Amino acid sequence: MRKILITGALGQIGSELTVELRRIYGANNVVASNRRIKEGHEKLIESGPFEIVDITNGKQLHEVVKKHNINTIINLAAILSAVGEKHPEQCWNINMNGLYNVLEVAREENCMVFTPSSIAAFGPTTPKDKTPQDTIQRPTTMYGVTKVAGELLCDYYFLKYGVDTRGVRFPGLISYETLPGGGTTDYAVHIYYDALKNKKYTSFIAKGTMMDMMYMPDALDAIIQLMEADPSKLIHRNAFNVTAMSFDPEMIAASIRKFIPEFELDYDVDPVRQAIAESWPNSLDDSAAREEWGWNPKYDLDAMTKDMLEKLKVKLGL
Ligand code: NAD
Ligand code: SER
């Protein structure tokens, strides 16, 4: 029986993953945690056990793992790319020292660990198109540096101590439940809100900038499928390329116009986030994930746009 602790559970992924895992494994078997309570998450907090856990506090983390007899940690607490460039020290501390604490507790208490990596683990010298699973990883952002180092640290804990560590390199995630926490791909979420509210969006990412993306239901499936995958089939562990689509701002705008024909897109490019985006791949090769644990996303761009617009319309009361 799994007893799961989710760190950073009140973020973009955690707020939806907690609900899905509670549905599958039972509410009492999924402990949600975050370093602080965030407004708007009352329903999630009341739907099962919740603890305040700051992953940079190893003792606090350890106590919660013991208290709930946790055997699986899904570590979502992190600082993302754009905020990481503003606060590199915080990004290093949470993404690296926090991860180290998670792995140490997992080693001592015999827990499995899932930690997402990112397309940010690649850099300007990585092959840009159909980026292979195993290739050059020389990122130029602090977030990317922590993601590569995190992948290596997770592999180390598996090889050295036998801790069952697994992870995926997520592309930009698009969802309607919780806003993204300060990344470079966030434009592809904001564009849907503005399309519904104003029929117009000003993009901080330039025309022609291709990045991999994925709709949240596929991201949740990726986590659960890999967590439940037969370990004897896993050649890779930390971390698998996964993707569902690749587009630039013009392509997502064209998809939105199929449902809102009057939608307009213009640009006010942010040089910091644009430079980050340009250092990342245009598209990933996710064949290792497909071969080793059956990865197969359901949503393409238009299917995602249709669902996003329908769900957001209800959420925004439009
Ligand atoms: P998010 O920013 O939305 O949520 C992170 C959560 O962690 C927040 O609720 C925050 O309060 C919490 N947190 C921050 N510092 C903490 C600490 N010290 N201790 C405990 N909690 C803390 O992030 P997300 O989008 O849900 O991302 C989760 C993971 O997935 C991260 O590792 C991220 O790098 C990775 N990822 C996300 C995306 C994406 O597009 N969302 C893409 C690739 C990878
Ligand atoms: N969506 C994330 C970001 O832009 C990718 O890891 O930071």
Domain extents in the chain? 4-171+214-241, 174-213+244-283+298-316
**Span from the CA of 120 to the centroid of ligand 2 (angstroms):** 7
pLDDT at 228: 97
pLDDT at 237: 96
Residues with CB under 6 A from ligand 1: 7-8, 10-14, 34-35, 53-56, 76-78, 80, 94, 98, 116, 118, 170, 172-173, 180-181, 183, 185
Cα 75 from Cα 77, distance rounded (Å): 6
Q: Is 297 in the pocket of ligand 2 (CB under 6 A)?
A: no
User: Catalytic site residues?
Assistant: 143
For the chain, which ranges sit under pLDDT 50? none
**Span from the CA of 233 to the centroid of ligand 2 (angstroms):** 28
pLDDT at 19: 97
What strands lie across the sheet with 240-241, from one edge to the other? 117-118, 168-170, 240-241
**Span from the CA of 171 to the centroid of ligand 2 (angstroms):** 7
Q: Match 């993404």 to its residue by tokens.
A: 95
Residue pair 92/146 in contact (Cβ under 8 Å)? The answer is yes
pLDDT at 129: 98
pTM of the predicted structure, to 2 decimals = 0.97
pLDDT at 312: 98
pLDDT at 153: 98
The residues, ordered by sequence, that sit 6+ positions from 18 with a Cβ below 8 Å of its Cβ are 6, 9, 30, 32, 44, 47, 48
The pick from 12, 76, 80, 151 for probing ligand 2's pocket by mutation, whose C-beta has the most ligand atoms within 8 angstroms, reads 80
pLDDT at 169: 98
Shortest-distance Cα residue to atom 2 of ligand 2? 183
pLDDT digits (tens, 9 = 90+) for 151-207: 999 999 999 999 999 999 999 999 999 999 999 999 999 999 999 999 999 999 999
174-213+244-283+298-316 placed in CATH 3.30.110: no
pLDDT at 287: 98
The pick from 13, 79, 94, 118 for probing ligand 2's pocket by mutation, whose C-beta has the most ligand atoms within 8 angstroms, reads 118
pLDDT at 105: 98
Q: Match 């020292």 to its residue by tokens.
A: 97
Q: Which ligand is nearest to the CA of 243?
A: 1
CATH no. for 4-171+214-241: 3.40.50.720
